[in-house]
Amino acid sequence: MRIAVLGAGAWGTALAIAFAHRHSVALWARDPEQVTAMRVAGENSRYLPGHRFPASLALAADFALATDGADLVLIAAPLAGLRTTVQHLRDARIGTPFLWVCKGLERDTGLLPHQVVREVLGECLCGVLTGPSFADETARNLPTVVTIASTDAGFALRCAESLRGPRLRIYAGDDVVGAEVGGAVKNVMAIATGVCDGLGLGMNARAALLTRGLHEITRFGKALGGRADTFMGLSGMGDLILTCTGDLSRNRRVGLLLATGKPLDQITDELGHVAEGVPAAREVQRRAAALGIKMPITDWVCAVLDGSMTPIEGVAALMARDIGFEDH
């Protein structure tokens, strides 16, 4: 299979490396200087240092060249770049089936990725690849298990069968909303857990945040049309556990640094990568409010990000909430 990976960040690079061992892969970056630097170094020193490119991996700054003859397109741009990338596909009249790997809700519109795609292209053969996965570990060929969700279940299954490898297992599903909500809101919960750990509040507090965070994800996702069982799977519980506890999580790192009192602007500058939970938190809060859904952990994260509440004040507010039944 010929695959075009659009976006040479950490995750796009990791997937390009993983797939290049079994497929013909072209990795596209918008910046020609980045492509030149990657060719010279033989790796993506900026976003995924230490992982050599397979000899067969093609690098391209030319969009048409990267997508020419592709059987599958993989959009690995951050969510902020999804709409523009899909518009490129539309304008270039590229009708190739595609997957996206970004997670979150679009800033200002609050749309999930599939809704952005639908606004630009209408109905098309596409889906989301998501689940518990760190780019560094996937690039190192460590066992990784993810899922592909599409409204066309047959397409999802064919992609999963084609893209799987000895150490990359892929499941298929048709709950696109559930898969995307799990991937988006777990980043918000990772910020909360990072704050909790940064304050030294202990394992009891972390377990509570994970559990109640999953409850918020499920409540929000069901209101948007997702299925409850999806949130018990890889794109829900699996991704939540990894992102909230793994040291490679950028969103968890945001929380850890917020706990030290660093301002958000300084934190995002230091990261050097996109932490999707920061913009997602505000969009999740807005959509939840419009739906009349209570999401206290999300509200706390937004208050800390906005600077209207200190991390420890937020913890106190969560603990002081009225007592109720656990399933509410």
Give me the active site residues, please.
186
Among 63, 96, 61, 72, smallest CA distance to 22 is for: 72
- Residue 303 is assigned to a ligand binding site: no
The neighbour count for residue 37, using CB atoms within 10 Å, is: 16
Report how far residue 45's alpha carbon sits from residue 250's, in angstroms, rounded to the nearest whole number.
Answer: 18
- Residue 186 is assigned to a ligand binding site: yes
126-130 and 144-149: which strand pairing? antiparallel
| CB neighbour burial string for 97-123, b if at least 16 within 10 angstroms, e if fewer | bbbbbbbbbbeeebbbbbbbbeebeee
- Residue 127 is assigned to a ligand binding site: no
- Residue 8 is assigned to a ligand binding site: yes
- Residue 171 is assigned to a ligand binding site: no
- Residue 247 is assigned to a ligand binding site: no
- Residue 117 is assigned to a ligand binding site: no
One-letter identity of residue 224: L
Distance of CA 71 to CAs 1, 95, 129, 292, Å? 6, 10, 16, 43
- Residue 150 is assigned to a ligand binding site: no
- Residue 249 is assigned to a ligand binding site: yes
- Residue 12 is assigned to a ligand binding site: yes
The neighbour count for residue 232, using CB atoms within 10 Å, is: 15
Max CA separation in the chain (angstroms): 60
- Residue 226 is assigned to a ligand binding site: no
Report how far residue 262's alpha carbon sits from residue 256's, in angstroms, rounded to the nearest whole number.
Answer: 10
- Residue 28 is assigned to a ligand binding site: no
- Residue 10 is assigned to a ligand binding site: yes
Coil, strand or helix at 52: strand
Q: From edge to edge, which strands make up the β-sheet containing 168-173?
A: 58-60, 24-28, 2-6, 72-75, 98-100, 126-130, 144-149, 168-173
Report how far residue 203's alpha carbon sits from residue 14's, in angstroms, rounded to the nearest whole number.
Answer: 31
- Residue 250 is assigned to a ligand binding site: yes
- Residue 270 is assigned to a ligand binding site: no
Coil, strand or helix at 30: coil
Which residue numbers belong to the known binding site for substrate?
103, 250-251
In the annotated binding site for NAD(+), the residues are: 7-12, 135, 250
Binding site for sn-glycerol 3-phosphate, by residue number, is 103, 131, 133, 186, 239, 249-251
Binding-site residues, in ranges, read 7-12, 30, 47, 103, 131, 133, 135, 186, 239, 249-251, 274, 276
Q: Which residues are annotated as a binding site for NADPH?
A: 11, 30, 47, 103, 135, 250, 274, 276
